[in-house]
Amino acid sequence: MPDLPIMMIGCGAVARVHAMAIEKHGDARLAAVVGPDLSQTQAFSSEHGGCAAFDNLDQALQATHARAAIIATPSKLHAAQAQQAIDVRLHTLVEFPLSAPNDVVRGLFDHAADNKRILAVAHTNRFKWVNRRIKKLLDSGQLGRCNLVSILRQIDRPQNIELGPRPRTWHDDVLQHHAAHLLDLCRYWFGDHVELIDAVSPMAAYGRRNCSLLLRGPRAIPISISASYDAARDHFAITLAMEHGTLEIINDTSLRVNGIEDTTDRPQSERAQYHQAIARQDAAFFDACLGRNSFDVTPAVSIALAALSNQALRSADRVLAES
């Protein structure tokens, strides 16, 4: 039977979802977990089969015989840790986003190719039921052309509170993380025909917590993206104004087509949809590592998205400097 031992780099909330995806895959197993605090990594190990636990990545890379790694750490660490994993010839799945300058991102993919290893970025939105359903409806043409896209992502994320909630020691950046997710979603729906016009994202004491982006899609359709960590409640709404109707996503799980709920193969809850998306994405990565398929999110997608995200950062900084 094929065997794919995997090293988990990170032991937070999303790492636990990846661990569950590993457990569902018949040929993958969790071989090691690495985190900044040994007691936390040991607790994570106990929850997921008793794998080896480390608080030092260099030691873990030398001491274990993993064939693949999943990087689920704070965004600022992704590029350097991906480099370390590829250096020891591990197939590597990096949690979204891969935040680094364009030449660094391109260099990482070239380094992986030179070592005949897979480097993939977890474009999880592309595996979610609701987004795949929208893609199918857009491609079918049954509602005609899209004329406008409006995306609003509101998150109640106070200082140092993570999913759970539980304290954490790092601060997220709404523009580099959630806005980049939504940029990728637009590229998934409309391909390469997405161009950034402008971005506004003021710096706060704990980084960028609010942003708005204006983009131009195919046939110059307007696309607006707004995201906030300072909302009093979580809310997610997407509207696509079509030539012959309207598509609406509410809270990342409910899809309405011309006001009528679409339940075609829909998971039961937002949580179930998210776990299903991670499981599908990770299974595709594991199978690619085992030579069964090619991972369907190509390096070109990640490189282009990194360029677009970096352009948004530069645009936001320009607006800030001019204000």
Reported confidence tier of residue 168, pLDDT bands at 50, 70, 90: low
The yes-or-no verdict on residue 86 having pLDDT over 90 is yes
The yes-or-no verdict on residue 217 having pLDDT over 80 is yes
What CATH number is given to the structural domain containing 235?
3.30.360.10
Shared-domain flag, residues 151 and 23: no
Shared-domain flag, residues 30 and 81: yes
The DSSP letter of residue 25 is S
Reported confidence tier of residue 161, pLDDT bands at 50, 70, 90: low
As a whole number, mean pLDDT of residues 281-285 equals 96
Shared-domain flag, residues 228 and 203: yes
| Domain carrying residue 130 | 125-267+306-322
Is 0.85 topped by the overall pTM?
A: yes
What CATH number is given to the structural domain containing 59?
3.40.50.720
Shared-domain flag, residues 24 and 85: yes
Q: Mark which of 121, 145, 165 sits at the end of a domain.
A: 121
Query: What pLDDT, on a 0 to 100 scale, did the predictor assign at position 1?
Result: 56
Residue 171 lies in a domain: yes
Angle formed by the axes of helices 129-140 and 178-190, nearest 10° = 30
As a whole number, mean pLDDT of residues 38-60 equals 94
In this structure, are residues 238 and 151 in contact, taking their beta carbons and an 8 Å threshold?
yes
Total structural domains within the chain? 2
State the chain's mean pLDDT as an integer: 91
Shared-domain flag, residues 86 and 193: no
Cβ-in-10-Å burial (0-12, 13-18, 19+) of 282 comes to: buried
As a whole number, mean pLDDT of residues 136-140 equals 96
Residue 138's closest CA among 191, 182, 88?
Answer: 191
Residues facing residue 154 across a β-bridge: 228, 235
Q: Three-class SS of residue 215?
A: strand
What is the tens place of the pLDDT at every residue in 97-107?
Answer: 888 888 999 99
Residue 132 lies in a domain: yes
Query: What pLDDT, on a 0 to 100 scale, did the predictor assign at position 97?
Result: 85
Cβ-in-10-Å burial (0-12, 13-18, 19+) of 323 comes to: exposed
Shared-domain flag, residues 20 and 129: no
Amino acid identity at 289:
C
What whole-number percentage of the chain has pLDDT above 70?
A: 96
Shared-domain flag, residues 74 and 172: no
What are φ and ψ of residue 315, in 5° steps? -65, -45
Q: Mark which of 77, 97, 121 sits at the end of a domain.
A: 121
What whole-number percentage of the chain has pLDDT above 90?
A: 71
Give kind and range of the element (H or E) at residue 7: strand 4-9
Lowest mean pLDDT among 6-15, 163-172, 268-277: 163-172
Shared-domain flag, residues 246 and 99: no
Cβ-in-10-Å burial (0-12, 13-18, 19+) of 264 comes to: exposed
Most confident of 176-185, 215-224, 261-270: 215-224
Query: What pLDDT, on a 0 to 100 scale, did the predictor assign at position 102?
Result: 87
Shared-domain flag, residues 208 and 108: no
Residue 196 lies in a domain: yes
Residue 275 lies in a domain: no
